[in-house]
Amino acid sequence: MNLKQGIALMSSVLAFGLATEAGAVCTQTAASQADRDLWNTHGCWQDFFLWQYKAYGLRSGDWSNRGWNAACNVNLEFPKHWNASYLLTYGMEDDWNQSFHGTEDYRATAEARSSNFHDSLYHSITDRTDVFGTFTPRFWPWDTDRVETACPLYNPNVSNSNPGSRAGDYMHEGWHAYFDKYNFDNGNTGGHRPGPQGACTINGCDYFYFHGISKYPFGAMWENNGTASKFHSPNQVQVEFLCDVADQSHWWIPLSVRQTAASDANARAASRFINGPGYTCGSPRPW
């Protein structure tokens, strides 16, 4: 088994403790309060979703029964996918003195185009219920990396089915693509360290590489110096993004979107880091 095959397999078997329902389909009967509240700020913006599917490399065959031809039905997966992209694209204040990173960092991590952040990728979807998302590197040089998001991010009965958590997973999986681009080995448990260990309580742990506010110029989140003093892990990028949604988003971002993002970030901060960041959304910035 070569490296590419190994990474793909490990990503596919990583579990997060949610119930597995073989053959299940994502729930399409409703949307969460946070999804509906954000939706009401744009009212189904056609120009945006026509841009978004290209920017994220979505393929019609993957989304054909998931709102591809009903992009204004917020109960379906494609509308929920682009609703999260809308938050990511327009929601941040980008306050140099307060934000972990800027919109350009988060967009480059999520969007399909090749950049310093990752090679070209595309977003697909899976009916799995035991993961939030997966990253599968291309097998052949002419192929494309794939980010998949899963039912728990679309099922309104799951707390992570909200725009912040969904976009947060774009960060997480996009950072696995970053590791693949630069050949970083973050561990052999779905691209993480085995657990539980340290403060991490699950099987699939990261380190939090603490950095101060304004450490990274906007657009430079991809940079590292090869040491822990300037580096990010997938869960770290995800938590920093979610806390920027919770604490540093524009005034018009609904409270329900901020609160669900903070809840997700704080839960991850408490359970997914070996060294525990000792930080929760809402803690004073900067330091």
Which pLDDT band holds residue 278 (cuts at 50, 70, 90)? confident
Residue 204 Cα to chain centre, angstroms: 16
Q: What is the pLDDT of residues 113-172, one digit of tens each?
A: 999 999 999 999 999 999 999 999 999 888 999 999 999 999 999 999 999 999 999 999
Phi, psi dihedral angles at 125 (to 5 degrees): -140, 150
Q: Is pLDDT at 43 greater than 60 in this prediction?
A: yes
Percent of the chain with pLDDT over 70: 91
pLDDT digits (tens, 9 = 90+) for 46-64: 999 999 999 999 999 999 9
The pTM assigned to this predicted structure is 0.92
Q: Determine the longest span between alpha carbons in the chain, in angstroms.
A: 50
What are the distances in angstroms from CA 146 to CA 49, 52, 79, 151? 20, 16, 19, 17
Residue partners of 206: CB distance under 8 A and separation at least 6: 186, 192, 193, 200, 233, 234, 235, 236, 272, 273, 274
The per-residue pLDDT for 76 is 96
Contact predicate 74/138, CB 8 Å: no
Convert the pLDDT of each residue in 238-248 to its tens digit: 999 999 999 99
* pLDDT value, residue 287: 64
Q: With the C-alpha atoms ordered 41, 160, 118, 106, is the resulting torsion angle positive or negative?
A: positive
Measure the CA–CA gap between 187 and 37, rounded to whole angstroms. Answer: 38
Write down the pLDDT at residue 16: 41
CA distance 221 to 241: 12
pLDDT at 105 over 50: yes
